Amino acid sequence: MTFPADIMPGVRVLLRRISELEILMEDLAGRESASYGWKLNEQILKAYSAMDAARIVVGKDLGLTYGDATGG
């Protein structure tokens, strides 16, 4: 998929955030320790928030009306 050059920095951030979240989720799936799981879950929630913020930026840059939860 090709994006305009001025949007690519946001797309790169979004892809990096998606990758970080995926790595954390895979780590959680491979653990049996409940306490480790809770600590990792905190990191996952932060990573998800960062990924969602990047998604909103890219959506707005592309002129999408569903770029955030408010539709703007």
Domain boundaries, the chain: 8-61
Give the pLDDT band (50/70/90) at residue 5: very high
The angle that helices 8-29 and 34-61 make with each other, rounded to 10 degrees, is 160
Is the pTM here over 0.75, yes or no?
no
More confident residue, 66 or 44: 44
Query: In 10 A of CB 31, how many CB atoms?
Result: 12
Per residue in 20-43, pLDDT (tens digit) is 999 988 888 777 777 777 888 888
The CA distance from 31 to 3, in Å, is 38
Question: Is a pLDDT exceeding 50 seen at residue 16?
Answer: yes
